[in-house]
Chain A
Amino acid sequence: MKIVCVCAMGLGSSLILRMNVEKALERLGVKDAKVEVADTGSARGANPDVIVSSHSFCEELADMNVPMVEVVNYTDIAYIEAELKEILSK
């Protein structure tokens, strides 16, 4: 499974998201997921199974029809964990 964290330049806030997504996955006991960072352009070409980003990028990429985790507080790992858990259970 590929999770892509998206931000404007693909190297600032998306990296923070990646670290926290990896922590959340660790807590959920998920071992076979790959987490990447991207900007919106690269995200489209990356074939993600899940996208993690802020509302404005999630809205922009909505046409990709990929489950999304919309983040407000980038450090809220519990929130990311809960959202991922819900997506994974489907």
Chain B
Amino acid sequence: MNTIISILTSVISQAAVLVALISFIGLVAQRASIERTMTGTLKTFLGFLIMGQGSNIITGMLDPLNEIMMEAFHIQGVIPVNEAITAMASEQYGTKMAFIAFFGLIINILLARFTKFKYIFLSGHHTIIMAALTAVMLSMFGLPTAGVIAIGAIVVGIMSVLTPAISMPFVRKITGGETFALGHWATTGYIFSGFIGKIFGKNPEETSTEKMELPKWMGFFKEPVILMGIGVFIIEIICCAFAGSEFVANYAGTTHMVVWALMQGFIFSAGVSVILLGVRMILAELVPAFKGIAERIVPNAIPALDCPTVFTFAPNAIMVGFIGYTIGQFIAFGICLATGMTVIIPTLLHSFFMGGTAAIFANATGGRRGAVIGSLLTGVLNNMLCSLLFPAFAALGFAGTTFADTDFSIIGLIFYGIAHLLGVA
């Protein structure tokens, strides 16, 4: 009997096994072939392990960077990358994350079935990230595991139907239809941008960004992982220059500073690529299973999809947003430096996804002027929210990276605020 309990406990406490089990249930529910069920389950298992290994790569290069940055500027800079902090969180909170995601998806289906919010949240990577956020934040309160899972799942479930619902008026305008909703947890930022566009922009139809002719070279901004490598390289080289080659030699050995910085930048990209590979494998099984089950239970379900699904309706706005959002990030960077708050390093990855989408929202309400101002202010907002929340993660032992998207920051700040009021943080 003890052996059985021991095996069961090991199974449940090894998050990778747990996630694979969820996949297994999903595949069986879809009546997949035995071969498909086995390969699907094992792929999910492998994907989770790959994600964990990717996290090691990132931690490995962020530690030296943090020390060099401290030596150079006496600040602790943070590069917000959802996948990185989620992978790090999975080491300690993986089991809670898996359960929160699983039950969160179930609550999504139930809410869609029994309320007028018929949205099925299909951005699985964000579900996992929110599960990580809630698992980490709820650990501040000293709740029993069941409590953490229950509250986390309720947050995930409610957010899954709420955010597509509140962005729907804008999405309708952008896509001209009702066939899908937006499922991306920077929604509060996008709505903010939409309102900024309404206030500061004018004549959305006449001055739309789509009526502009943009230069071809801007297409370069479509490779997020490469951009990350270049971005981190620039950060590394600046920090190394100010820290001095003698200090950097502690980490770089006999390698020249510039070459070492380039390596570090792209090791970050390598780590993110590995994490993405792992997440891809996990989602490949979970999202179709979830969709299949959801569609059977919720008639007239509206899929809530990842932000690039609106990119196709306003491709020029993405480029405008990229630039606007980047400027906004640098403004936030300046504010953080000046006020002594946690310094959030401008991260071009977000200029593409969140900047692009923010610009699309603001363009729909305020044309190109809306797109520029909306994306810029959203960049400032998102990074300042990250900066406000980071101390909570620092206290829990995380360093160097954090959650980036608006909704993660907002939910995190709500929990952080409650923890403050209760005197636990």
Q: List chain A positions with a Cβ less than 8 A from chain B.
A: 7-13, 15-16, 18-19, 37, 39-41, 54-57, 59-60, 71-76
Are A56 and B315 touching (Cβ within 8 A)?
Answer: yes
Are A40 and B222 touching (Cβ within 8 A)?
Answer: yes
Are B309 and A13 touching (Cβ within 8 A)?
Answer: yes
Chain A: minimal CB distance from B174 (Å): 11
> In whole angstroms, what is the CA distance A72 to B177 when docked?
12
Are A75 and B303 touching (Cβ within 8 A)?
Answer: yes
Stretch from B62-70, B188-196, B277-285 contacting the other chain:
B277-285
Q: Return the chain B residue nearest A10 by Cβ.
A: B280
Could you say which of B225, B287, B305, B352 contacts A74, with CB atoms under 8 Å apart?
Answer: B305
Which residues of the other chain, A, contact B283 by a CB distance below 8 angstroms? Answer: 11, 15
Chain A: minimal CB distance from B354 (Å): 13
Chain B: minimal CB distance from A20 (Å): 10
> In whole angstroms, what is the CA distance A59 to B309 when docked?
17
What sequence of 0s and 1s flags, for each residue 357-374 of chain B, a beta carbon within 8 Å of any chain A beta carbon? 000000000000000000
Considering residues A7, A10, A71, which has the most beta carbons from chain B within 10 angstroms of its beta carbon?
A: A10
Whether A72 touches B125, Cβ cut-off 8 Å, given contacts A8-B224, A16-B306, is no
The B interface, classified by DSSP as helix, strand, loop or mixed, is helix
Which residues of the other chain, B, contact A37 by a CB distance below 8 angstroms? Answer: 280, 284
Chain A: minimal CB distance from B358 (Å): 16
Which residues of the other chain, B, contact A74 by a CB distance below 8 angstroms? Answer: 180, 305, 309, 312
18 example contacts (A-B, Cβ-Cβ < 8 A) are as follows A8-B223, A9-B225, A11-B279, A11-B280, A12-B307, A13-B305, A15-B122, A15-B124, A15-B284, A19-B287, A19-B288, A19-B291, A41-B223, A54-B312, A56-B315, A72-B312, A73-B179, A74-B312
Considering residues B177, B279, B309, which has the most beta carbons from chain A within 10 angstroms of its beta carbon?
A: B309
Are B305 and A56 touching (Cβ within 8 A)?
Answer: no
> In whole angstroms, what is the CA distance A84 to B291 when docked?
23
Could you say which of B122, B276, B313 contacts A72, with CB atoms under 8 Å apart?
Answer: B313
Could you say which of B177, B276, B287, B352 contacts A15, with CB atoms under 8 Å apart?
Answer: B287
Which residues of the other chain, B, contact A71 by a CB distance below 8 angstroms? Answer: 312
Are A7 and B315 touching (Cβ within 8 A)?
Answer: no
Are B309 and A16 touching (Cβ within 8 A)?
Answer: yes
Considering residues A9, A19, A73, A75, which has the most beta carbons from chain B within 10 angstroms of its beta carbon?
A: A9
> In whole angstroms, what is the CA distance A71 to B310 when docked?
11
Are A16 and B222 touching (Cβ within 8 A)?
Answer: no
Are A16 and B305 touching (Cβ within 8 A)?
Answer: yes
Chain A: minimal CB distance from B121 (Å): 12
Are A73 and B312 touching (Cβ within 8 A)?
Answer: yes
Other than A73-B177, A73-B180, give 14 A-B pairs with Cβ distance below 8 A.
Answer: A8-B308, A11-B276, A12-B308, A13-B309, A15-B124, A41-B225, A54-B312, A55-B315, A59-B219, A60-B222, A72-B313, A73-B179, A74-B312, A75-B303
